[in-house]
A and B are shown apart, each in its own frame.
Chain A
Amino acid sequence: MITFLFFLLRIAPGDPSQKFISPDLSPRLAAIVRQSFDLNNSLFDQYKTFVFNIVKGDFGISYTYRVPVIEVIRQFLPFTVIFSLISFSIQISAGFLLAMFAVKRINGPGDKIISRTSIIVYALPSFVIGVALIFIFSGLLNIFPSSGLSSFDFDSYSFFEKAADYARHMVLPVITLSLGGIAVYFKYLRDSLEDAYNKSFVENLRANGFKESEIIKKHVIPNAVSPLIAVAGVELGLQFGGALITEVIFALPGMGRLTVNAILNRDYPLVIGCTFISGLLIIITNLAADLLKAKMDKRIVKEILN
């Protein structure tokens, strides 16, 4: 992945030193500045140094922030991880609750309303949702702030005030990021719950006198959620990579904005750092999803062992 990224970035046109060279600098002086970016060495030498440094855990120094890449990522990653986890848990839990509600009333008016609304919500781009939420809750009602992560007087707040301030700022972004996901998980879960309900073993269990709640909890849900876990693993990993549009609308300091700005500024070390971390998180969340699946379905472990 790293090799691919390294060469892809070098092939892309653009010069990272351009920004630091005043256009009216003479070519001779501009060359002196350009030299400090170590881009004059051969591509192979650059690659060798780069891989050697990565092995040591050193991604280099960001051209724009002028501090080690890890330091920059350390400032942005915690927000994205927390933001993604909150949004993810809301997506899963709300999607699950709605799916359960709909399945119990399959093809009834409740199910139809939720199913159709979910399609509309899914079709709405997040920038439309975000702007609409700002207009209603921030503009008209003035309940929530329209952007940022904290108030200007944040430092003078007590612990609880700080928590409340964060929470207040996070409401609209979390809703914006979650609505689409809720619709997706609802759709997945509703369909797989319906499938599981219609399986013959459910009929069998009912005939044997098992309680309905017991059947749902022990048999229907485990069967229905297992295809969802794999999807959720990838989705969570992607969210850790940043939610660019939500971050831009609400001016949040997340990995999405960091990565895109790094690409636009041709900040090679930072682009590689960001994509490496995002890639790593996708692998981790996928692994976690696989482990969870194995825990729920012992047959997978047996298959692997065989």
Chain B
Amino acid sequence: MRNKYLLSILLLFIIIFLPSCNKQVPVGQNRVVVAISSDIESTNPLFAFTIDEGTISELLYLSLVQHDWNYETGNMTTSPSLAKSWDWNKDSSSITLNLRDDVKWTDGLLVTARDVVFSFDVYSDPLVQSKLYGSFKDFYTDTAMHVDLKKTFDVINPYKLTINFKKHSASSFYDIDFPIIPEHIYKNASRKDLVTAEKELKPVTDGPFELASWNKNQSIILTANKKSFLYNSEDIDELIFKIVPDYYSQLTQLKQGEIDFMQDIRADDYPLLKREDNLILTALKGREYDYIGWNNLDPGVYKKSKKIISNKLFGNPAVRIALTYAINRGEILHEFLNNHGEAAIGPMAPIFSSAVDTSLKPLPYSPDKAKQLLASTGWKENKSTSTLEKNGIGFSFTLYIPSGNPRREFAATVIQNNLREIGIKMDIEKLEPEVFFQKMYAREFDAWMAGWSVSIPPDLKQFWYSKLEDAPLNVAGYQNKAADKILDEIESTRSEKLQDELYIKLQDIIYKDNPVTFLYWIDNLMAYNKRIKNFKLTPLGPFHRCWEWSVK
């Protein structure tokens, strides 16, 4: 009896499965499927904290202007979006924007200047805690950095407004380049609870795509907004972000055509993918680099009293330069990255060609030079132990790295061996990323390995300015008055040419001080299915103007 019961269950399963087995994955539809490794938490641009959230929210909501990349100048150009034209006043302290009068929210209402003013209000409101909170430095604000709407905006008519910037600020298009949100949807929600209330609000959007559905931990389906002025009948109908957490599952699906686009491909897998006929492989020149942070300050003293005292091991620039000479970056680039990257000379990404000092060359791998330099600073080899010593104390330290990053683990081992060759004992300690970054930002490490990404446009002040309260990302505690002066000048100038010149000067100073060891710029390896047409890869990312993609 029991056996019969079990058999009938099995039969039921077969009945369910059999008809479904014939169902094939639909191909050739006017849709593109993109793999992402984890779900987003919000489609709302106010709370788009991660890269994927930023990408999706910018496809759903229009900004006042949009940017394109100019490869010749290594810089961005600005083009119209919600604003169809504009006029800067003589000293660039205000801009008058003429908005398009044909852009509608998905609920049918027109997008007007009121939405623009409201967006600045909400983004800068400390109660909302948006992702842009604290970044309205060029605007008139109160002490909590909330934009002063009266001083800032003159609304001339529903499609024309003037934005006034703070006197002597370096205002630019970047100050107004963020997605505008609908006032009529958000105005009645409590600002304090907006962070939780936004989940209840239906996304009313105006971008080139609308949100069709969002299955948690499964997929986010965007459909083309056919009423958008950006829509063209040749363009794709659907853009699907499919959440595939496992890297190898993403690779399998890419090969099979279940997904059309994948990024962050490991260098090891690149040659294998090249054999696939249906794929086009490409690489985005990096804005991300790995570095070894040498704490220029004494972390113990800084933690206790916030006093700036030079670090016993790494406070001297000559020691830091010596350590850079001792590290074989070429080996890591060749062995792990398969040469998909380039050795770094400083903090300015090579893509910003007009702001990079091309006369500087990466320090070569030279253990002898490293030993000589260290000897000049008092670190001499103890012949019996083959280790470097100064005043009877050996040169040893711990390098902290975040766990779960194979590239950094590989590099740490190479570096450990390199330093052993010149008599330095380096231990490696892996920390869980949350813990690692908390300690790193608190400047608790002597030495660590991490990575930075250079924003577009570059903003190097927060990384290299001496006053640490104003430079939370200067975790190495770098101190140089000449660099500070240049960083202040860059911030107050509007001329891009002058900014480029100043950046070149800054790189020279940083090159000589070597506050950290810049390791390498890392290419982002990507592959996409041949059926996607109009795929244009720029430093602005793979999804830049993705609404213009078509499928053949």
Contact = CB atoms under 8 A, between A and B. Distances in A.
Interface of A: 13-15, 18-20, 22-27, 29-30, 32-33, 36, 61, 64-67, 75-76, 89, 93, 96-97, 100, 131, 134-135, 138-139, 142-153, 155, 163-165, 167-168, 171, 217, 248-253, 257-258, 261, 264, 266
Contacts of A93: 6, 9
B311 to A, nearest CB: 22
A167 B256 contact: no
A131 B248 contact: yes
A249 B244 CA distance: 8
Contacts of B244: 147, 251
Given A134-B252, A248-B245, 6 more contacts: A18-B438, A26-B472, A61-B196, A75-B216, A147-B249, A251-B245
Contacts of A168: 17, 20-21, 23
Nearest to A134: B252
Given A135-B252, A145-B25, A164-B20, A150 B218 contact: yes
A96 B240 CA distance: 43
A226 B1 CA distance: 19
Which 5 residue pairs across A and B have the least CB separation, nearest first?
A253-B217, A164-B20, A14-B434, A168-B20, A13-B435
Nearest to A169: B20
A236 B441 CA distance: 43
A32 B42 contact: no
Contacts, number: 159
B49 A171 contact: no
Nearest to B194: A66
Contact of A32 (B47, B144, B248, B459): B144
A148 B256 contact: no
10 contacts: A13-B434, A14-B435, A15-B434, A18-B438, A23-B441, A25-B472, A26-B469, A93-B9, A142-B25, A167-B16
Given A26-B134, A251-B218, A167 B17 contact: yes
B24 interface: yes
Nearest to B42: A66
A149 B215 contact: yes
Interface in B1-45: 1-3, 6, 9, 16-17, 19-21, 23-26, 31, 33, 38, 41-42
A145 to B, nearest CB: 7
For B3, B6, B42, B245, which residue has the most chain A Cβ atoms within 10 angstroms? B245
Contacts of B469: 26-27
Nearest to A163: B16
Contacts of A20: 49, 129
Nearest to A261: B38
B196 A253 contact: no
A5 to B, nearest CB: 18
A100 B245 CA distance: 40
B126 interface: yes
B242 interface: yes
A32 B129 CA distance: 9
Contact of B434 (A131, A153, A217, A266): A266
B472 A148 contact: no
B434 A24 contact: no
A152 B41 CA distance: 20
Given A13-B435, A97-B3, A148-B219, A164 B252 contact: no
Contacts of B240: 152
A253 B244 CA distance: 11
Contact of B133 (A33, A89, A135, A251): A33
Interface in B201-234: 213, 215-219, 221
A147 to B, nearest CB: 6
B218 A24 contact: no
A138 B41 contact: no
Contacts of A257: 217, 245
Contact of A67 (B17, B145, B199, B219): B199
B472 A23 contact: yes
Given A168-B20, A171-B17, A66 B41 contact: yes
B243 to A, nearest CB: 6
Contacts of B198: 66
B41 A253 contact: no
B145 A29 contact: yes
Contacts of B437: 18
A76 to B, nearest CB: 8
Given A23-B472, A248-B246, A251-B245, A146 B253 contact: yes
Contacts of B47: 66
A72 B437 CA distance: 27
Interface string B434-462: 11011001000000000000000001001
A25 B133 contact: yes
Interface string B294-327: 0000000000000000000000000000000000
Contacts of B23: 164-165, 168
A13 B437 CA distance: 11
Nearest to B256: A139
B470 interface: yes
A138 B256 contact: yes
A251 B249 contact: yes
A134 B435 contact: no
A152 B31 contact: yes
Contacts of A30: 472
B546 interface: no
